[in-house]
Amino acid sequence: MVEKRRSFLKTAVLGSGVALTGVTALASSTKAVTNGVVVGKSKKTEITYTKTKAWEDFYQSAL
């Protein structure tokens, strides 16, 4: 009876490990390699700076 339990546990642990490895491999193969950067599908351009009088005053005071 003890041997049946041990063999069941060995089989269950081995099966779990194989399943986890398969899921991990599948998930990693479907992602694009982006070095951690989120890539979106937006067609808008990102504007991070617009030259205005307020910005010029700020930069001049920061120097």
The pLDDT of residue 53 is 94
pTM of the model: 0.31
d(CA 9, CA 16): 10
Taking only the tens of pLDDT, the chain with its 63 residues reads: 667 777 877 787 777 665 556 656 555 555 556 677 777 788 888 888 788 999 899 889 988
Q: How far apart are CA 60 and CA 54, in angstroms?
A: 10
Q: What is the pLDDT of residue 17?
A: 66
**Chain position carrying tokens 């599948």:** 26
For residue 4, the model assigns a pLDDT of 74
Q: Where do the H-state alpha helices sit in 1-63?
A: 2-30, 53-62
- Please tell me the total number of residues recorded for the chain in this structure: 63
Report the chain's C-alpha Rg in angstroms.
28
